[in-house]
Amino acid sequence: MKSENIDFKPIVINRVGTDIVYIPRIEALVTRFGERFLQRVYTATERENCGCNKINRMVINKLAGRWAAKEAVVKALGTGWQGIGYTDVEICRHKSGVPFVVLHNKALVIVAKQGIDNHWQNCQLSLSHDGDYATATAIFVAPGTFCIPC
Protein backbone atom coordinates (compact mmCIF):
# COMPACT_ATOMS: atom_id res chain seq x y z
CA MET A 1 0.00 0.00 0.00
CA LYS A 2 1.34 3.41 -0.94
CA SER A 3 1.28 6.12 1.71
CA GLU A 4 -0.09 8.70 -0.72
CA ASN A 5 -3.36 6.70 -0.84
CA ILE A 6 -3.90 7.02 2.90
CA ASP A 7 -5.65 10.10 4.23
CA PHE A 8 -3.99 10.60 7.62
CA LYS A 9 -5.40 13.21 9.95
CA PRO A 10 -3.32 14.58 12.80
CA ILE A 11 -3.95 13.05 16.19
CA VAL A 12 -5.08 15.53 18.82
CA ILE A 13 -4.53 14.08 22.28
CA ASN A 14 -6.99 15.27 24.90
CA ARG A 15 -5.67 13.33 27.90
CA VAL A 16 -3.23 10.56 28.80
CA GLY A 17 -3.25 8.19 31.77
CA THR A 18 -0.89 5.40 32.77
CA ASP A 19 -0.69 2.91 35.62
CA ILE A 20 1.44 0.03 36.84
CA VAL A 21 0.19 -2.78 39.06
CA TYR A 22 2.12 -5.22 41.22
CA ILE A 23 0.48 -8.51 40.17
CA PRO A 24 0.95 -10.26 43.56
CA ARG A 25 -1.19 -7.47 45.09
CA ILE A 26 -4.12 -8.46 42.86
CA GLU A 27 -3.47 -12.12 43.64
CA ALA A 28 -3.62 -11.34 47.38
CA LEU A 29 -6.94 -9.50 46.96
CA VAL A 30 -8.45 -12.38 44.96
CA THR A 31 -7.19 -14.89 47.54
CA ARG A 32 -8.46 -12.85 50.50
CA PHE A 33 -11.82 -11.62 49.17
CA GLY A 34 -12.56 -14.01 46.29
CA GLU A 35 -15.80 -13.50 44.39
CA ARG A 36 -16.71 -10.42 46.44
CA PHE A 37 -13.62 -8.59 45.13
CA LEU A 38 -14.10 -9.84 41.57
CA GLN A 39 -17.75 -8.72 41.41
CA ARG A 40 -16.98 -5.32 42.95
CA VAL A 41 -14.15 -4.49 40.52
CA TYR A 42 -14.82 -6.39 37.28
CA THR A 43 -17.92 -6.65 35.09
CA ALA A 44 -19.39 -10.05 34.28
CA THR A 45 -17.89 -9.73 30.78
CA GLU A 46 -14.43 -8.95 32.17
CA ARG A 47 -14.61 -11.89 34.60
CA GLU A 48 -15.67 -14.21 31.79
CA ASN A 49 -12.97 -12.92 29.40
CA CYS A 50 -10.30 -13.40 32.08
CA GLY A 51 -11.44 -16.96 32.82
CA CYS A 52 -12.37 -16.34 36.45
CA ASN A 53 -14.16 -19.69 36.71
CA LYS A 54 -10.73 -21.23 37.43
CA ILE A 55 -8.22 -18.90 39.10
CA ASN A 56 -4.58 -19.45 38.10
CA ARG A 57 -1.55 -17.25 37.36
CA MET A 58 -2.72 -16.40 33.82
CA VAL A 59 -6.12 -15.27 35.14
CA ILE A 60 -4.45 -13.14 37.83
CA ASN A 61 -2.21 -11.55 35.15
CA LYS A 62 -5.26 -10.70 33.02
CA LEU A 63 -7.08 -9.22 36.03
CA ALA A 64 -4.02 -7.13 36.93
CA GLY A 65 -3.76 -5.83 33.35
CA ARG A 66 -7.40 -4.80 33.39
CA TRP A 67 -6.96 -3.14 36.79
CA ALA A 68 -4.05 -1.12 35.39
CA ALA A 69 -6.14 -0.21 32.32
CA LYS A 70 -9.08 0.93 34.47
CA GLU A 71 -6.71 3.11 36.53
CA ALA A 72 -5.15 4.54 33.36
CA VAL A 73 -8.58 5.40 31.93
CA VAL A 74 -9.79 7.28 35.03
CA LYS A 75 -6.49 9.16 35.14
CA ALA A 76 -6.96 10.10 31.49
CA LEU A 77 -10.47 11.28 32.31
CA GLY A 78 -8.88 13.65 34.81
CA THR A 79 -11.20 12.63 37.65
CA GLY A 80 -9.68 9.62 39.32
CA TRP A 81 -12.31 7.37 40.86
CA GLN A 82 -14.41 10.27 42.27
CA GLY A 83 -17.99 9.14 41.84
CA ILE A 84 -17.03 6.43 39.34
CA GLY A 85 -17.59 2.78 40.20
CA TYR A 86 -14.96 0.20 39.29
CA THR A 87 -17.39 -1.52 36.94
CA ASP A 88 -18.19 1.81 35.22
CA VAL A 89 -14.91 1.33 33.34
CA GLU A 90 -14.99 -1.94 31.42
CA ILE A 91 -11.94 -3.26 29.57
CA CYS A 92 -12.76 -5.48 26.60
CA ARG A 93 -10.93 -6.90 23.59
CA HIS A 94 -11.80 -6.93 19.92
CA LYS A 95 -11.60 -10.30 18.15
CA SER A 96 -8.15 -9.19 16.96
CA GLY A 97 -7.03 -8.90 20.60
CA VAL A 98 -6.86 -5.09 20.60
CA PRO A 99 -8.13 -3.78 23.96
CA PHE A 100 -10.83 -1.14 24.16
CA VAL A 101 -12.80 0.60 26.87
CA VAL A 102 -16.55 0.70 27.40
CA LEU A 103 -17.72 3.34 29.85
CA HIS A 104 -20.92 3.14 31.88
CA ASN A 105 -22.89 5.36 34.24
CA LYS A 106 -20.89 8.29 35.72
CA ALA A 107 -17.81 7.61 33.55
CA LEU A 108 -19.98 7.91 30.45
CA VAL A 109 -21.43 11.22 31.69
CA ILE A 110 -17.90 12.58 32.22
CA VAL A 111 -16.76 11.84 28.66
CA ALA A 112 -19.95 13.33 27.27
CA LYS A 113 -19.27 16.56 29.19
CA GLN A 114 -15.72 16.58 27.80
CA GLY A 115 -17.08 16.27 24.26
CA ILE A 116 -15.55 12.86 23.59
CA ASP A 117 -17.95 10.98 21.29
CA ASN A 118 -17.79 7.25 20.61
CA HIS A 119 -15.47 6.91 23.60
CA TRP A 120 -14.32 3.39 22.81
CA GLN A 121 -13.13 4.53 19.39
CA ASN A 122 -11.38 7.59 20.80
CA CYS A 123 -9.60 5.91 23.67
CA GLN A 124 -6.50 4.02 22.66
CA LEU A 125 -5.35 1.41 25.20
CA SER A 126 -2.09 -0.46 25.57
CA LEU A 127 -1.57 -3.19 28.17
CA SER A 128 1.66 -5.00 28.96
CA HIS A 129 2.94 -7.56 31.47
CA ASP A 130 6.46 -8.37 32.63
CA GLY A 131 7.31 -10.54 35.59
CA ASP A 132 5.37 -9.30 38.61
CA TYR A 133 4.05 -6.15 36.93
CA ALA A 134 1.22 -5.18 34.60
CA THR A 135 1.06 -1.74 33.03
CA ALA A 136 -1.43 0.15 30.91
CA THR A 137 -1.68 3.45 29.09
CA ALA A 138 -4.90 5.14 27.98
CA ILE A 139 -4.92 7.98 25.48
CA PHE A 140 -8.11 9.90 24.70
CA VAL A 141 -7.92 11.54 21.29
CA ALA A 142 -10.18 14.30 20.02
CA PRO A 143 -13.23 13.18 17.99
CA GLY A 144 -12.64 13.04 14.26
CA THR A 145 -8.87 12.60 14.50
CA PHE A 146 -7.11 9.55 13.17
CA CYS A 147 -7.16 6.44 15.35
CA ILE A 148 -5.53 3.16 14.41
CA PRO A 149 -8.35 0.85 13.26
CA CYS A 150 -8.88 -2.43 15.05
Q: What are 15-29's pLDDT values in tens digits?
A: 899 999 999 999 999
Residue closest to 86 by CA, chosen among 78, 74, 95? 74
Q: Which CATH class is domain 12-141?
A: alpha beta
pLDDT (tens digit, 9 = 90+) per residue, 29-70? Answer: 999 999 999 999 999 999 999 999 999 999 999 999 999 999
Q: State percent of the chain over pLDDT 70.
A: 80
Please give the model's pTM, rounded to 2 decimal places.
Answer: 0.84
CA distances from 19 to 70, 71, 74, 77 (A): 9, 6, 10, 13
Where do the domains of the chain lie? 12-141
**pLDDT 10s digits, 76-123:** 988 889 889 999 999 999 999 999 999 999 888 887 777 665 554 578
CB 108, CB 88: distance < 8 Å: yes
